[in-house]
Structure 1
Amino acid sequence: MTADEHGPEDAAGEAAETGTDATEPAHEASEVDDGSIDALGVLGSEPRLEILLALGDRERAVRTNRYELTFSELYDAVDVASSSQFSYHLSQLVGPFVAETDDGYHLKYAGDKVVRAIRSGLYESTAAFEPVGIPGACVVCGATDLEALLRDERFVVRCRACEATLLSDSFPRSQADDRTPEAVVESFGYRIWSAYLLVRGGVCPECYGRVDYWVDCHDDGAQYTFAAMCAGCDCTIHLPIEVPALFHPTAIEYLWRHGIDLFDSPLWELFELVVSDEWTTTVASTDPLDATFRIAMDGEAVELAMDERFEVSPVDESLEADLADDDLADDVPVDDGVSESA
């Protein structure tokens, strides 16, 4: 998930505490340090992976995180020719992947991640996935003929009418295991929202580091995307600029009253709302950011604004009405109590 893109495929964000602005952060070349080389080199051994899996299997069996095994218990669980060889392999894991205590050994965070990656088949190719027709509308041409498919080991939502790619996301093999194509599509809907909820709090959905935000402009202002990039691992996510507004409590409650459950409505279904006459997005500026969003359904409207800090707030329409009344009052002649006589 180092470069996930939810939004137009040709596309290259919330709290002020993230220290962000509307421009894409500068990229620095990644460097490989000796610690990373040593740690990854440790994993190039079957007995060491077996030790990690043995610790993980025992945690799963007893349903206890950081469950500890003694040296003898761990040795008995791994197929190694001698205790001296086992001791050597275990010593290589202690530090980066395994913690040693007075009571035994348990997985550290990095070791747990390795175990989960092996179990889920992260390093294996994604299984076949047949295209599935899905509801929603194309943000490019407006057609309601979308499909989800597997392309180059990525989950893709495209428009059959104009062939535009509307969404692209990494597709791990585990997400297709024991799921029908329809269930796979549904799982991506929830996965995208879960990633956004983390990003909304300034948290990277991949490594949990801090994220920076900016807004990208596409097609000469025809489309805008809200982008978030992790300052640590560079995981990057692009979403329609309307998404932060959709997740404001005012919008969530408004949509609920009008029959739309945001959390159970995948992004591609909401495309249909965003391109309809019921939704209006106005971006006055991207640097600094100044955007407003208006939803009007069944004679009721709500308006929200997003500022340069990527914070969303409702526009006080009652205040606007008062200001409009004041403007009208300025145009009415004032009776100063002086009358003219013939």
Structure 2
Amino acid sequence: MEEEVGDQIGQDVVDAISSLGNAHRLQILMALDNVEQEHQEPWHTMSFTELYNAMDVDSTSQFSYHLDRLVGQFVRETSDGYRLTYSGHKIVRTIVSDVYESTSTFEDSEVSGVCLFCEAASLIATLDAEQFRIRCTECDAILITDFFPQSQTRDRSPVEVIESFGYRIWSMYVQLRGDVCPECFGPVERTVDVYEHGGKPVHLHVNSCRECQHRVSLPVEVPVAFHPAVHYSFWEHGISVLDVPLWEFFEYLTSGTIATTIVSDDPFAASFDVTLADESLRLSMDETATVTLERRDGASSTP
């Protein structure tokens, strides 16, 4: 395991991270970003003199040394001057949003919805182990776990923070539908796994990034709900799925609105009956988590 971890950290990674360990260099990145914001123009450049005058350093040689440490990875030198790279932008966004700082406090709050395992309407949103979690107070199942950056709590009430997580989860899934990692935008692999609590299994649609290993797991019924036919059916019945947070979406599973039948675990195969009022749809899913709408005439449609 040590060799595998070591292989991931080459000298170029060490050099890139160490090049940020100086206040003057971070100020250079911020100055380049500030001029972009001022001119409302992406990739706006600054000349050496303009950038130097924006800094508080003792000499041009000292400034040149710090600038050289950033050029290539975080700053691009062009014929017109210097500008931020994509990586430089990411560093600036991290600084100004304070996402590198953990959220220290968050008041536990009751939320609507039912537990997937015990079906009790006893869910709370909480900050636990520096993560946002939806937990059932009845059976102690952890239903949702997500990163909890400090920037997500700023200028938001507890209710607004919780609401923002609802939309954030769906925004992640929209990217995952296109095999795009919501963390680094790398390609995503899909599998199906099983999580068990209190003797009850829940099948999960697992999305793993091949680049950064970021992993997002959601109930297999989520891809079903986002199938165009199902999404539209919900809309016709007055329900906007994107406005229903995942923890409230669980009630469609426990109530049988979306009824799941596991056909096979290896390879995975399942069928789903979606019933809203007098309308019913049947869909299926294979081991790649591809959802297919089964039509009454025997034909099928895969988006």
Match among 268, 271, 284 for residue 263 of structure 2: 284
What pairs up with 1:126-145 in 2 under 5 angstroms? 126-145=103-122
Verify the 8 A CA contact 2:191 2:288 in the aligned structure 1.
Answer: no
Match among 10, 18, 34 for residue 57 of structure 1: 34
225-234 or 53-62: which moved more? 53-62
Question: Does 2:159 align with 1:182?
Answer: yes
Gaps of 5+ in 2: none
CA–CA distance in structure 2, aligned partners of residues 262 and 250 of structure 1: 12
Percent identical across equivalent pairs? Answer: 44
Question: Does 2:175 align with 1:159?
Answer: no
Q: In the alignment, what sits opposite 1:67?
A: 44
CA–CA distance in structure 1, aligned partners of residues 59 and 144 of structure 2: 52
Q: In the alignment, what sits opposite 2:59?
A: 82
TM-score computed with the length of structure 2 as normaliser: 0.93
The CA deviation at 1:221 is 7.0
Q: In the alignment, what sits opposite 1:303?
A: 282
Deviations 1:146-185 (A, max 9, x none): 1111112110001122221110101001000010111101
Question: Does 2:251 align with 1:275?
Answer: no
The CA deviation at 1:278 is 2.5
CA–CA distance in structure 1, aligned partners of residues 21 and 181 of structure 2: 28
Deviations 1:9-28 (A, max 9, x none): xxxxxxxxxxxxxxxxxxx9
CA–CA distance in structure 2, aligned partners of residues 81 and 62 of structure 1: 28
CA–CA distance in structure 2, aligned partners of residues 315 and 102 of structure 1: 58
Q: In the alignment, what sits opposite 1:265?
A: 244
User: Which residue identity is paired with 2:79?
Assistant: D
Deviations 1:18-74 (A, max 9, x none): xxxxxxxxxx93321111011111111111011001111111122111110111111
Q: In the alignment, what sits opposite 2:231?
A: 252
Question: Does 2:148 align with 1:171?
Answer: yes
Question: Does 2:193 align with 1:216?
Answer: yes
In terms of fraction of residues, the more strand-rich structure is 2
The CA deviation at 1:277 is 2.8
The CA deviation at 1:259 is 2.1
Verify the 8 A CA contact 1:127 1:176 in the aligned structure 2.
Answer: no
The CA deviation at 1:198 is 0.8
Verify the 8 A CA contact 2:111 2:125 in the aligned structure 1.
Answer: yes
The SS at the match of 2:229 is helix
The CA deviation at 1:131 is 1.1
Question: Does 2:288 align with 1:313?
Answer: no
Question: Does 2:207 align with 1:232?
Answer: no
CA–CA distance in structure 2, aligned partners of residues 68 and 286 of structure 1: 56
The CA deviation at 1:261 is 0.6
Verify the 8 A CA contact 2:234 2:276 in the aligned structure 1.
Answer: no
TM-score computed with the length of structure 1 as normaliser: 0.83
Question: Does 2:69 align with 1:92?
Answer: yes
Verify the 8 A CA contact 2:272 2:284 in the aligned structure 1.
Answer: yes
Please provide the CA RMSD for this pair: 1.5
159-168 or 99-108: which moved more? 159-168
Match among 223, 235, 241 for residue 220 of structure 2: 241
Verify the 8 A CA contact 1:227 1:237 in the aligned structure 2.
Answer: yes
Gaps of 5+ in 1: 1-27, 321-342
The CA deviation at 1:110 is 0.7
Deviations 1:260-290 (A, max 9, x none): 1101111111101111132210121233221
The CA deviation at 1:202 is 0.6
Give structure 1 regions of 4+ aligned residues with deviation exceeding 4 angstroms.
none
The SS at the match of 1:35 is helix
User: Which residue identity is paired with 2:30?
Assistant: L
CA–CA distance in structure 2, aligned partners of residues 230 and 286 of structure 1: 23
Verify the 8 A CA contact 2:113 2:123 in the aligned structure 1.
Answer: yes
The SS at the match of 1:142 is coil
Q: In the alignment, what sits opposite 2:82?
A: 105
The SS at the match of 2:176 is helix
CA–CA distance in structure 1, aligned partners of residues 266 and 187 of structure 2: 21
The CA deviation at 1:134 is 1.0
User: Which residue identity is paired with 1:260?
Assistant: I
User: Which residue identity is paired with 1:299?
Assistant: D
The CA deviation at 1:119 is 0.6
The CA deviation at 1:125 is 2.3
The SS at the match of 1:319 is coil
Verify the 8 A CA contact 2:20 2:26 in the aligned structure 1.
Answer: yes
Deviations 1:223-252 (A, max 9, x none): 101101100100001101111111000110
Q: In the alignment, what sits opposite 1:16?
A: none
Verify the 8 A CA contact 1:69 1:106 in the aligned structure 2.
Answer: yes
The CA deviation at 1:297 is 2.4
Structure with larger RCO (C-alpha < 8 A, sep 6+): 1
